[in-house]
Amino acid sequence: MGLATAKLLLEMGNDVVSGDMNGSPVNHANLTFLETDVTIWDQLKTSSRKPQTNTAQDPPGGSIVCTASASSFQRFGVTGYTTAKRGVFGWMRGMVANLQEHKVPIRINCIGLSWTVTGLVPKEKCDEADLETQTAEVVAELVAYLIADETRHGQFVFSASERLYEMEESRLLPAVKDGRLMPAAKEISGGGRNTEEEAYERLRQVTTCSELGQPGKAQDAGAAAFVMIQAFGARTLLSTYLA
């Protein structure tokens, strides 16, 4: 899928930077390839440690497309895979609020893919199992669309059998806010219960890093706040890092 996306973006005249453990199968003047192994911690840490070079963008802004999965919102028996893909979806959800609060001009979206023909599951096996599939090229077009469409932010686009469905804003969030989940939670707690996001915002308003021996307020960019609270009979650690 990454290869198909890189090829499509190159065909559209974009500059592309690609990383993989194997060599690049594509030779193109606009392609920069970096051998990358995310199992090497020193390489992985470069994504979060302070850059040592000038990284100013001209123009500012950008678009991040995260590769989640249909298993991000369904039960799926491959435990490790499901755990990882739910984590990707959760990371996107958490980043949306922080990007908006700090007015960072970067959009972030998720793609959630159903069965897609890749090297992971051979097409012959999918055909033998009579599965509806889609090609990697369909995924590449979806990624390019989310990169280009400036109205898309904080969305989860489910792709199955070459059909696309926006799930986050049209289905998942309404199911939590207006559906059965939050009313049920309020009923269990005796009513008047805040959502986790509302409670988090209230804590940020009343907590400063100076209470923990650090200057500044917890909501300031670059600040780290670790607040111990007593909630629902269990001790919970809230932490946030705003880089």
Give 96-153 pLDDT, tens digit per residue: 988 888 888 899 999 999 999 887 888 898 899 999 999 999 999 999 999 999 999 9
What would the 3-class secondary structure string for 23-53 be? Answer: CCCCCCCCEEEEECCCCCHHHHHCCCCCCCC
DSSP run (H or E) holding 227: strand 224-231
For 61, half-sphere exposure in the C-beta direction (CA atoms, 13 angstrom radius) is 9
CA distance 122 to 139: 17
Q: Which residue range forms the structural domain that includes residue 224?
A: 194-241
Q: What is the largest CA-CA distance in the chain?
A: 63
3-state secondary structure of 111: strand
Same domain, yes or no, for 133 and 218?
Answer: no
Count up the domains in the chain and report the number: 2
CB neighbours (10 Å) of residue 120? Answer: 9
The least confident of 56-70, 80-94, 200-214 is 200-214
pLDDT at 218 over 80: no
In a domain, 6, yes or no: no
**CB-based contact 146:192 (threshold 8 Å):** no
In a domain, 88, yes or no: yes
More confident residue, 238 or 78: 78
Same domain, yes or no, for 199 and 145?
Answer: no
What is the rounded average pLDDT for all residues in the chain? 79
Region 187-207: mean pLDDT is 73
CATH number, residue 89:
3.40.50.720
Same domain, yes or no, for 81 and 169?
Answer: yes
3-state secondary structure of 228: strand
Same domain, yes or no, for 208 and 151?
Answer: no
Tens of pLDDT, residues 44-54: 777 666 665 65
